[in-house]
Amino acid sequence: MNREVSYFKQFFISVVIGFTILFIASLIWNIHGENLSTYELAKVEAEGNFNKDLTFRRWTATHGGVYVPITDSTIANPYLNFLPDRDITTTTGKKLTLINPAYMHRLVFQMSNKKDGQFGHICNTSPLHPENKADEWEEKALKLFTTGTEEEYYSTELINGKEYLRYIKPMRVENHCLKCHANQGYKVNDIKGGISISIPMDKYKPILRAKIKSIIFNHLIIFLLTFIVGALSYRRIIKVVRQRDASRIKAKENEEKLKEQNKKLIWANEKAIESDRLKTIFIQNMSHEIRTPMNAILGFSSLLLDEFDNKSKLTEYTKIITQRGNDLMFIINDLLDISKIESKNLSVNIEPLNLKTLFSELLPLFHEIQKRNEKSHIKLVIPTITEDLILYTDKGKLKQIFTNLVGNAFKFTHEGKIEIGMKIDNPRFITFSVKDTGIGIPPEKLNSIFDRFAQVEQSSSRLYGGTGLGLSIVKGLINKLNGEINVASEINMGSKFYFTLPYKKQNLIMEYTNPNNNINHN
Ligand code: ADP
The whole-angstrom separation of Cα 198 and Cα 108 is 15
Nearest CA to ligand 1 atom 8: 468
The CATH number of residue 488's host domain is: 3.30.565.10
The whole-angstrom separation of Cα 378 and Cα 374 is 9
Write the CA distances from 190 to 120, 484, 498, integer angstroms: 22, 126, 129
Ligand 1 centroid, distance to 366 Cα (angstroms): 17
Report if residue 210 sits inside a domain.
no
Give the pLDDT score at 1: 59
Under DSSP, the state recorded for 182 is: G
Nearest CA to ligand 1 atom 7: 470
Pair 88, 64: CB distance under 8 Å = no
The whole-angstrom separation of Cα 464 and Cα 453 is 14
Say how many domains are in the chain. Answer: 1
Report if residue 215 sits inside a domain.
no
Report if residue 497 sits inside a domain.
yes
Probe residue for ligand 1, chosen from 282, 412, 467, 472 as the CB with the greatest number of ligand atoms within 8 Å: 412
Domain extent at residue 409: 346-520
The whole-angstrom separation of Cα 165 and Cα 50 is 13
Give the pLDDT score at 512: 60
Report if residue 448 sits inside a domain.
yes
The whole-angstrom separation of Cα 138 and Cα 153 is 9
- Residue 74 CB: number of other CB atoms within 10 A? 14
Report if residue 450 sits inside a domain.
yes
The total number of residues written for the chain in this structure: 522
352 φψ region: left (φ > 0), alpha (ψ -120 to 50), beta (else): beta
The whole-angstrom separation of Cα 134 and Cα 193 is 8
The whole-angstrom separation of Cα 180 and Cα 101 is 10
Q: Which amino acid makes up residue 500?
A: T
The whole-angstrom separation of Cα 511 and Cα 316 is 44
Report if residue 425 sits inside a domain.
yes
The whole-angstrom separation of Cα 39 and Cα 201 is 8
Pair 399, 358: CB distance under 8 Å = yes
Give the nearest ligand 1 atom to 454 CA.
Answer: 10
* C-alpha closest to that of 386 among 510, 519, 509, 521: 510
Q: Is the CB of 433 under 6 A from ligand 1?
A: no
Pair 144, 153: CB distance under 8 Å = yes
Ligand 1 centroid, distance to 385 Cα (angstroms): 29
**Helix 3-62 vs helix 101-116: crossing angle, to nearest 10:** 140
Ligand 1 centroid, distance to 445 Cα (angstroms): 11
Where does residue 82 rank: exposed (0-12), middle (13-18), buried (19+ CB within 10 A)?
exposed
Per-residue pLDDT of the chain (522 residues; tens, 9 = 90+): 577 788 888 888 999 899 999 999 999 999 999 999 999 999 999 999 999 988 998 898 888 899 999 998 899 988 888 888 999 999 999 999 999 888 888 888 888 765 567 788 989 877 778 888 999 999 999 999 988 877 899 999 998 889 999 999 998 888 887 877 777 788 888 888 899 999 999 989 899 999 999 999 999 999 999 999 989 998 998 899 889 989 999 999 999 999 999 999 999 999 899 888 878 877 887 888 888 889 999 999 988 888 878 888 899 999 999 989 998 998 899 889 988 988 888 899 999 999 999 999 999 999 999 998 999 999 999 998 888 888 999 999 999 999 999 999 999 999 999 999 999 888 889 999 999 999 999 999 998 899 877 777 665 546 777 888 899 999 999 999 999 999 999 999 999 999 999 987 644 445 565 544 443 332
Pair 493, 509: CB distance under 8 Å = no
Q: Is the CB of 412 under 6 A from ligand 1?
A: yes
Give the nearest ligand 1 atom to 494 CA.
Answer: 24
Nearest CA to ligand 1 atom 23: 409
Give the pLDDT score at 487: 97
Give the pLDDT score at 166: 95
Report if residue 147 sits inside a domain.
no
Q: Is the CB of 441 under 6 A from ligand 1?
A: yes
Strand blocks (E) in 161-243: 162-172, 191-200
Nearest CA to ligand 1 atom 25: 440
Ligand 1 centroid, distance to 501 Cα (angstroms): 22
Q: Is the CB of 474 under 6 A from ligand 1?
A: no
Give the pLDDT score at 113: 67
Ligand 1 centroid, distance to 253 Cα (angstroms): 42
Give the pLDDT score at 446: 92
The whole-angstrom separation of Cα 352 and Cα 515 is 28
Report if residue 108 sits inside a domain.
no
- Residue 254 CB: number of other CB atoms within 10 A? 10
**Helix 205-306 vs helix 311-342: crossing angle, to nearest 10:** 160
Q: What angle do CA 499, 503, 508 make, to 5 degrees?
A: 105
Strand blocks (E) in 35-89: 66-69, 87-89
